[in-house]
Amino acid sequence: MVSRKYTKEETDRFVTIDGIRLHYNEAGDGPALICTHGGGPGANAWDNTKWALDALAEHFRVFLVDMPGFGESQMHVSREGVPMDIFCARLKKGFIDHLGIEKTHLYGSSAFSAAALRFGIDYPDRVGRVVIQAYAPSQHPGLTPGLKAVGDFAREPSMANMEKMMEQFTPNPELRTRAALEARFRAADNPAHLQSRLEMSAASNSDLVAELRSLTAKVLVTWGNHDGMIPVAGILAALEEIPDVRAHLWGGNSGHFVATEHPDEFARLVTDFLLK
C-alpha cells in the first residue's frame, strides 16, 4: 500500500537545457521514468500524472517534465523548423545528460507520444521501455468533436468552453469535478501559453511510420474507449505499426486521461511493464 504523498511544492524543480528553462517535478528512487503530457490548453505534466505519482515513485525515480510552452516551462520557444518529436527528444536527451542518467523509461501522452517514440529511435542505448497514450503514428484524426472543442477554447478561453472541452477529454461526469475544471481553466487561461502551444502542435511531429522499423524498445500503448479527442480505433493502427508492442484499453466510459481516470491500475500496469 502506497503511503507517501508527494506534493507539487516539495517536488518542483527547474533546469536549463539548450538555453530553454524547463520545469519538472521529481519524486522517488530507482530506474528513471520521464513523463510528459498532451498538447491541449492547460496541459502540464503534474496534472497529467499526479494521481499515479505516489505509486510510480515506489519503484522509479519519476520526472514529470513540462515541455516548452506548457506548465511552468519557458514560453515562446521556437523549434526553428525542427519537427516537434525530434526537438523534444533532443531536450530529453539533454535533460538526462545534465542529471547524469544513463538510461530512462519514457511515458508520453497524446501529442507528445511521438517524442517518446522518437527518443527510442534516435537514442536506442539511452532508452529502457516506452509507454504512450492515445497516439498512433499513422493516425490523422481530423477535426474530432474533442479537437474542435480544443480549438474553440483556444480562440475564446471561457469556462463554458472549458466545460465543453473537458466533456470530450473526460466523458465520465463523476470525474469532471468543479475543482478539476477550475484547475484546468487556471492552467489554460494564459495568453502566453495559448500562443506558445501553437509552436508545439501535434501536426508538427514527423511522420514516424517508416522509421519505426528501427525501434527496438518495447512499447505499451494505452487508451480509453470513449476518448473524444483521438479516436480509439488508433490503438489497432499502433499495434500494426510499432514493432514490439502491446496495448491496454480501458472500457467503462473511459476517456483521454487514463492515468487520471484509473491511476492505481495505470500505475500497476506501467510498473509491471517497465520492470519485467
Q: What is the CATH number of the domain that holds 61?
A: 3.40.50.1820
Report the alpha-carbon distance of residue 235 to residue 224 in Å, rounded. Answer: 10
Torsion of CA 178, 183, 189, 194, to 10 degrees: -120
Residue 108 has phi, psi (to 5 degrees) of -120, 140
Amino acid found at 154? A
Contact 34, 93 (CB under 8 A): no
Residue 108: what pLDDT? Answer: 98
Residue 3: what pLDDT? Answer: 58
Q: Is residue 78 part of a domain?
A: yes
Report the alpha-carbon distance of residue 44 to residue 190 in Å, rounded. Answer: 13
Q: Residue 23: which region, alpha, beta or left (left: phi > 0; alpha: psi -120 to 50)? A: beta
Residue 2: what pLDDT? Answer: 59
User: Which member of 23, 105, 193, 256 is catalytic?
Assistant: 256
Q: Is residue 219 part of a domain?
A: yes
How many folded domains does the chain comprise? Answer: 1
Residue 47: what pLDDT? Answer: 96
The range of the structural domain enclosing residue 206 comes to: 8-275
The CA–CA distances, whole Å, from 242 to 38, 75, 108, 177 equal: 20, 32, 15, 36
44-74: pLDDT as tens digits: 999 999 999 999 999 999 999 999 999 999 9
Q: Is residue 63 part of a domain?
A: yes
Q: Is residue 2 part of a domain?
A: no
Q: Which residue ranges of the chain lie beneath pLDDT 70?
A: 1-3
Q: Is residue 3 part of a domain?
A: no
Residue 246 has phi, psi (to 5 degrees) of -140, 165
Residue 127: what pLDDT? Answer: 98
Residue 173: what pLDDT? Answer: 94
Cell of 230: 483521438
Report the alpha-carbon distance of residue 154 to residue 149 in Å, rounded. Answer: 9
256 catalytic per annotation: yes
Q: Is residue 1 part of a domain?
A: no
